[in-house]
Structure 1
Amino acid sequence: MSDDGFEAGASGSQGDPRVLIAMNIVLSTGFAVTIVWGLDVLGAADLTLINVATGAILLFALTYVITLQ
């Protein structure tokens, strides 16, 4: 067993990109539901599957582009 510590192990690991993409999808969808629900409460948009999907796709794309830099 090595005594390098967690930081040394974490800094040398890139992780599985499929896990990161799955987490991005789940979190983007959750945030999109919350945002569209809030807009529905304010009367600015309807809480529909199309609106949630559009928001999730936009959030997913935005976070994907930001994390590639």
Structure 2
Amino acid sequence: MSDAGETGGGDADDRGIKEGVERSSGDPRVLFAMNAVLSALLASTVVWGLDFLGAAAYSLRNVATLTLIVFAVTYAVVLR
């Protein structure tokens, strides 16, 4: 059984996030801020895990570097 709102073509799903961001009337600074915060949280968690395994030291430099990498990749893949 399918929901009444579902369509066979999936037009809403085919548009993707890029078109949704382009058509959005929201402030893009909010997206940048959310991306920065979530990138920092992910980077901190990954570096902590690597420190726990003994593969890398948990330092501000390592967290900041990974944060910038994750932020840049996310921006390039999703928003451009």
TM-score range, shorter chain: 0.7 to 0.9
Q: Which runs of 4+ in 1 moved over 6 A?
A: none
Structure 2 CA distance for aligned equivalents of residues 68 and 46 of structure 1: 31
Q: What residue is the counterpart of 1:33 in the other structure? A: 44
Counterpart CA distance in 2 for 1:13 and 1:21 is: 14
* Residue among 68, 72, 77 paired with 1:57: 68
Number of residue pairs matched? 59
**TM-score under structure 1 normalisation?**
0.79
Amino acid at match of 1:26: V
Unaligned runs of 5+ in 2: 1-19
Q: So what's the TM-score if we normalise by structure 2? A: 0.68
- Partner residue in 1 for 2:9: none
Aligned-residue identity in percent: 58
